[in-house]
Amino acid sequence: MLKGKTIVIGVTGSIAAYKIANLCSMLKKLHADIHVIMTKNATNFINPITFETLTGNKCLVDTFDRNFEFNVEHVSLAKRADLFMVAPASANVIGKIRAGICDDMLTTTLFAFNRGAKIIAPAMNTNMYDNPILQDNLEALKKYGYEIVEPAIGYLACGDTGRGKLVSEEILLDKILFHLAYPKDLLGKNILITAGPTREAIDPVRYITNHSTGKMGYALANNAYLRGANVTLVSGPSIEKAYDGINKIDTISALDMFNAVKDNYKNNDYIIMCAAVADYTPKNVSENKIKKTDDDLKIELNRTNDILKFVGENKLDNQKLVGFSMETCDLIENSKKKLEKKNADMICANSISDNKTGFGVDTNKITLIKRNGINELPFGTKVELSNMILDEIKNL
Ligand code: CTP
């Protein structure tokens, strides 16, 4: 995802500097070219060798490092970089950046950088963070186009509990991916995606559900977001993670999901129904736990609303509707029928032919059924396939 991208990370004097080692490792796995610049104070918390080992690049500390190839390094790095992140950013360095002071490699290189996103992730004691001078500095930096990642609330190294904790490496990675992972070809598009299973309560203890985990729907939502779309994700119970910038609506039952879609589908350009919605729900939900007897138990079920069909019947001409279909036999024929019956513009037909496709795994096999033909996508990860589906919906 980050092949060919050059990222500079400025590390300042904070105990949270250790988190950046993991961030570098995650970025390296995504094939980024990472350059870490440390302040002298940061070297008290973590050794530059750690970053050199993880990134494969020299970790810069001193502006006038004579061991380095002769080049005005702060300028050459600033000219090459696609993104500059300062994390953890101390109150001192934030103050220097705001004031335009360039007295070390980090602040000098950042001052010379104007090619991409400049992200500041503060980390400090709560009282320092709440200090109006610091807040004023952050406001000023926002005006200068810096993105500020607000610190988390939690137990701080100084023993206090409050705001000031550096956000997790995962959140820092998300911020970087948002800027660099893909071209923003879905910018300005509104996309609603349903994902995951639904749960239909039988009593306070039991429910009816299915094997869906939400992996495919979350991959679609996350990639649509990284490609610049405004994403609304209507999710059934799932442990998958959606990016912070996604408008996520949590639902449990098919009725919850129907109501959430009904309330939100209208102002979307694309509606993708990836959720495995229960077709039936218990007619009566017992208020108390049903006690077992020696007899068999019969549960009467009612039909749920078909959400895809509802949107198909009510969508506007400019809205494109995509459904999913999972079959154990006659996949293409049944999916073609679904396209008609539900007035969709495309059906993504899932195969559950082996243990590398379908529920709960990271890979899938999908055939796209459109009004003007069929397109068999190559076997791939759900992340790869979700991008191919998003490419396809742009042409519907
Ligand atoms: N779907 C929905 N609401 C439901 C059931 C399904 O929106 N109550 C959507 C799913 O999100 C998916 C598509 O419909 O996009 C296909 O679901 P499926 O249950 O396979 O469709 P059916 O036509 O109900 O298939 P079958 O006749 O095999 O039950």
Mean pLDDT of 86-100: 98
Side-chain half-sphere exposure of 333, counting CA atoms within 13 A: 3
Identify the active-site residue in 24, 59, 158, 348: 158
In ligand 1, the atom with minimum distance to the C-alpha of 337 is 23
pLDDT in tens, 352-389: 777 788 787 888 999 999 999 999 999 999 999 999 99
- In this predicted structure, the answer to whether residue 65 has a pLDDT above a threshold of 70 is no
Mean pLDDT of the chain: 94
**Percent residues over pLDDT 70 in the chain:** 97
- In this predicted structure, the answer to whether residue 67 has a pLDDT above a threshold of 80 is no
Q: CA torsion, points 63, 68, 73, 77, in degrees to nearest 10? A: -120
Q: Which of 253, 256, 257, 308 to mutate to test the pocket of ligand 1 (most atoms within 8 A of CB)?
A: 308
pLDDT in tens, 187-241: 999 999 999 999 999 999 999 999 999 999 999 999 999 999 999 999 999 999 9
Per the listing, tokens 């400019």 go with 318
For ligand 1, say whether the CB of 151 is within 6 Å of any of its atoms. Answer: no
pLDDT in tens, 15-24: 999 999 999 9
pLDDT in tens, 336-348: 999 999 999 999 9
Which domains occur in the chain, in start order?
6-180 (3.40.50.1950), 190-394 (3.40.50.10300)
Residue 70, pLDDT score: 46
Residue 63, pLDDT score: 63
> Does 158 participate in catalysis according to the annotation?
yes
- In this prediction the pTM is 0.87
Mean pLDDT of 98-109: 94
Residue 275, pLDDT score: 98
For ligand 1, say whether the CB of 325 is within 6 Å of any of its atoms. Answer: yes
C-alpha dist (Å) from residue 117 to 145, 167, 212, 363 = 8, 18, 37, 32
C-alpha dist (Å) from residue 35 to 13, 55, 199, 337, 365 = 17, 7, 47, 54, 38
Q: Which of 369, 307, 309 is nearest to 343 (CA)?
A: 309
pLDDT in tens, 270-329: 999 999 999 999 999 999 999 999 999 999 999 999 999 999 999 999 999 999 998 888
pLDDT in tens, 270-287: 999 999 999 999 999 999
In ligand 1, the atom with minimum distance to the C-alpha of 305 is 8
In ligand 1, the atom with minimum distance to the C-alpha of 274 is 11
Mean pLDDT of 259-264: 98
